Structure 1
Amino acid sequence: MTLKQQDKTDPVIEIEGLSIHFGEGDQLVKAVDHVSLSVPSQQSFGLVGESGSGKSTILRSLAGLNHHCGGEIRLEGEALSNKRSKAFYKKVQMVFQDPYASLHPRHTIDKILTEPLAIHGLKHPEKRIAEVMEQVALPTKFRFRYSHQLSGGQRQRVAIARALILEPKILLLDEPTSALDVSIQAEILNLLNQLREELSLTYLLVSHDLAVVSYMCEQVAVMQHGKVVELLQVDKNGNTNAQHPYTQQLNLASKGYDRQVIDQFIEHQ
């Protein structure tokens, strides 16, 4: 079946009533509890919340790494089952949080980038690897090095290149800068913004930092205890006009440590 041409206002990702539970009985954990959201084509959509809020669980479910027990996930209007096809992974790729853990330590950068091309039977690997390394601003001299020979920022550029190598239209970004030095974080965020513009990509970005998602995204869903507590529109100045008390606390927390502010934080159920 031929998919229709996506308009920028069309939702490329739709999540409706998604529930993901772990354990059973007294040990049951509702990691995601009836979450619904919609991601327009070629936009960047953020999921923000503290650790354990369910944001990364949603991302992993969309990638096929966690199975959902309720609700529906649709990609370009087509419902996804718990098992993902090879065609899905050509269209949707994920960038993980820790570039130290997500790259095979015994593989050169060349092998890391060549492997997806071989699996999908794509031609002209030399040309494609050169293109993607240029896109993420990695010098060609790094191609036959191992990941441990690169800095944290360079490793994350390799991880982004690996995600881009199949020319997907959607990137799932799981805290893509949180494992990096502060001085490098802005470089990677700017690179991701540049790539989205140049390649007409759609992003679903997970972060615990409201400042990061406000910088990167047009829309932000704020999550707490497995639920969306507020859906925010981000204006051209990066402002969100947050109303929910939990979102306001996240906003204060993103500005840095302040003992007086932290003492005022309360747990919102």
Structure 2
Amino acid sequence: MTNAAISVDKLNVSFGDSHVVKDLSFEVRRGESYGLVGESGSGKSTVLRVLSGLNRDWSGAIAIDGAAQPKVRDKAFHRHVQMVFQDPYGSLHPKKTVDDTLAEPMAIHGIRDAEARIGKVLSDVGLPASFRFRYPHQLSGGQRQRVAIARALVLEPSILLLDEPTSALDVSIQAEVLNLLAALRQERKLTYILVSHDLAVVGHMCERLLVMQFGRAVEEMAVETLAARQPRTAYAQQLLAASAGFRRAG
């Protein structure tokens, strides 16, 4: 596929005796939002850690915009691909101000217009400039996750890897952050991979999704198939039924 932003071919990952990702292959088109879904332990977050360069112990082939990726990525890769983690409490350094957090990646990459970029990226994620000199403990969970998104965007990447970006937040805040991410994708023409166990989130955010179980691909489908509740495989149907039941109960 010539317009693939991300291509994964026969990816395998093991931790000791545990084979957590098994012969996984998929492609994500440029500008697409692609979901990886499955129960806890299905291997979906491991895939993101491999794609981001955090996990270097894998076999198979990964290409970003057609370029094969080595296990150890260079600086240029990180300007292009950034990750937003699940836990906004754990991913921000408690002793660094928002300003420090946003300035650090730019210092690493030798970007000079830090001042202007910080102002713009805070505005883009809906935070006032006065937040620059606050510490994480002075922010709510939703505000922290906005800072984490700003940190990922400050290098102006083309791909964002989103690992359960709203699951640690209150339900009332989740929709705000998801809507922000959807708007940023349009404005910045970003490509997303979104990992989630919540099919409602994936239905809201993605065009296509891959259902994973025990490290394997079970079924790839368009989001319309999800909305029509018509997956082909029994496991995907089961996941959908469990997800709908969970939401009704909540």
- TM-score range (shorter-chain normalised) is over 0.9
AA at the equivalent of 2:14: H
Whether 2:77 is the aligned partner of 1:84: answer no
Gap regions ≥5 residues in structure 2: none
Range that drifts further, 208-217 or 65-74: 65-74
Larger radius of gyration: 1
* Equivalent residue number for residue 39 of structure 1: 28
* Equivalent residue number for residue 117 of structure 1: 106
Q: Given the two structures, how large is their TM-score scaled by the length of structure 1?
A: 0.89
The residue correspondences of 1:45-64 to structure 2 (distance < 5 A) are 45-64=34-53
Following superposition, the deviation at residue 237 of structure 1 comes to: 9.1
Q: Deviations for 1:34-88, whole angstroms, at most 9, x for unmatched residues?
A: 0000000000000000010000000000011112432100011111111010000
The residue correspondences of 1:1-269 to structure 2 (distance < 5 A) are 10-23=3-16, 28-235=17-224, 238-239=227-228, 241-257=230-246
Q: Deviations for 1:162-204, whole angstroms, at most 9, x for unmatched residues?
A: 0000000000000000000000000000000000000000001
Following superposition, the deviation at residue 257 of structure 1 comes to: 3.2
Partner Cα distance (2:82, 2:188) in 1: 14
Contact 1:170 1:202 in 2 (8 A): yes
Following superposition, the deviation at residue 245 of structure 1 comes to: 1.6
Partner Cα distance (1:220, 1:17) in 2: 18
Partner Cα distance (1:11, 1:68) in 2: 24
- Quick one: structure 1 residues 237 and 82, their matched pair in 2 at CA, closer, same or farther if it must change by over 3 Å? closer
Partner Cα distance (2:150, 2:231) in 1: 34
AA at the equivalent of 1:41: R
* Equivalent residue number for residue 264 of structure 1: none
Q: Percent of aligned pairs with the same residue?
A: 58
Contact 2:82 2:161 in 1 (8 A): yes
Q: Any runs of at least 4 consecutive aligned residues in structure 1 with deviations exceeding 6 A, and if so which?
A: none
Partner Cα distance (1:62, 1:252) in 2: 30
SS class of match (1:257): helix
Q: Report which of the two has the higher share of helix.
A: 2
- Quick one: structure 1 residues 252 and 74, their matched pair in 2 at CA, closer, same or farther if it must change by over 3 Å? same
Contact 1:42 1:200 in 2 (8 A): yes
SS class of match (1:211): helix
Contact 1:21 1:32 in 2 (8 A): yes
Following superposition, the deviation at residue 248 of structure 1 comes to: 1.4
Gap regions ≥5 residues in structure 1: 1-6, 262-269
SS class of match (1:192): helix
Partner Cα distance (1:65, 1:255) in 2: 33
Partner Cα distance (1:220, 1:240) in 2: 13
Partner Cα distance (1:245, 1:112) in 2: 45
